[in-house]
Structures are given as structure tokens and as C-alpha cells.
Amino acid sequence: MPMIIGEIRRYLRDNSVIRVSRSMRDTAYRALQVKEEFMREHQREPTITEIADALGMKKAEVVFALDAILDPVSLFEPVWGEEGDALCVMDQVGDTKNTDDQWLEHIAIKEAIGDLSEREQKIVRMRFFEGRTQMEVAKEIHVSANEMTQRARELEVRFCRNRSGHRGEYEVTYYIRWQLC
């Protein structure tokens, strides 16, 4: 009989949807045991930090282990429903960074930068992507600081014109850094 139970456990372990290492599962089960012990002693649920301290592990390791033993949930799993109008997990999950507007903005910026000369692209790359100061960029391209300031200003104005007024001139630096970095 123990051999049959062992084979069933092995089958379930090896044929599950997501494979989790044995050490990760062991860590999760020890964390659950510590949690139950703590609740019996203190009559409250422990924090992740308290569980990690009891196990002598990092907090992140305990969180990963506990997350690893959770059963996967389908995106189409109904969370709430009323009169046939169910709300699914997918409806709850949102991606605020990759919206349609931001994709279009990203493409427009790429095109606008592609329209610049090689030297202007170098200025934009050093200034906005590498985070260099205007003085550092001026030294690199062998111009005075005043000339660099004027060129940066011209690039911003031209960029804003190419963008059809989607962003104000003073928002360009901020916007380029957040969208393309």
C-alpha cells in the first residue's frame, strides 16, 4: 500500500500544471507549519517577516515559496457574477503601463527620433537615455555650453512640433525618459 501511495504522489508531482522544485515546496510547507504554530501560540496570524525569522530565511524566499504552492487560476475564472454577467480574473487584471495610447506614443517618439540627424540622435541618446548633463554632452560633441543649450532647446521645439502638440515643450525630457528608458 505505501508503494501505491508513493506512486500516486510522484504522478501528481510530476504531472502538475507548473513544476515547483522540491526544496521550494519543502520551504513552503515549513512556512505553513510555522504559521499554524504561531497562530496557536499568539492567537493571530503572523507576518511574513515573523515567519521568515522563525525559519531563519529571507522574507523574499518565504514569499516565493508560498506563492509557488498556490494553484494556478485561469484568467477566465469567474470572480463574481450577478444574473449571468460574470466578472472574470482577466477583468480584474490591468496593465496601466502598456495601454494603447502609450504604444502609439512610443511609436511616435521612435519615428520622431529616427527623423533626426545622426548628430542630433547622439545628443538625444546621451542627454536623455544616458542621463548626461548638457555640459558633458557639449564636451563630447565639441561645442560650447551655450550652443549646447540652444541645440537642446531647438531639438525640444522641433520634437514637440513633430508630435502635433501631444506634449508641452517642458514635458519632453520627462516623457522621453519614462517612455523609452
The model's pLDDT over 52-89, given as tens digits with 9 standing for 90+, comes to 999 999 999 999 999 888 877 788 888 776 766 778 88
State the pLDDT at residue 52.
Answer: 94
- Average of per-residue pLDDT values in the chain: 77
139 alpha-carbon distance from chain centroid: 36
**pLDDT (0 to 100) of residue 168:** 45
The residue ranking higher by pLDDT, 52 or 106, is 52
Give the range among 61-65, 113-117, 160-164 with minimum mean pLDDT.
Answer: 160-164
* DSSP state letter for 129: I
Q: In the numeric block, which cell numbers belong to residue 80?
A: 463574481
Question: At the top level of CATH, which class does the domain 100-180 belong to?
Answer: mainly alpha
Q: What is the architecture of the domain spanning 16-73?
A: Orthogonal Bundle (1.10)
Residue 180 reports pLDDT greater than 50: no
> What is the C-alpha separation between 179 and 109, in angstroms, rounded?
9
Please report the pLDDT score of residue 109 as a whole number: 73
Please state the domain extents for the chain. Answer: 16-73, 100-180
Are domains 16-73 and 100-180 of this chain identical in fold? Answer: yes
User: CA-to-CA distance for 14 and 45, rounded, in angstroms?
Assistant: 32
pLDDT (average), residues 38-47:
93
Residue 111 burial class via C-beta count within 10 angstroms: exposed 0-12, middle 13-18, buried 19 and up: exposed
pTM of the model: 0.42
- Averaged over 7-18, what is the pLDDT? 71
Q: Where are the beta strands (DSSP E) in 10-165?
A: 78-82, 85-88
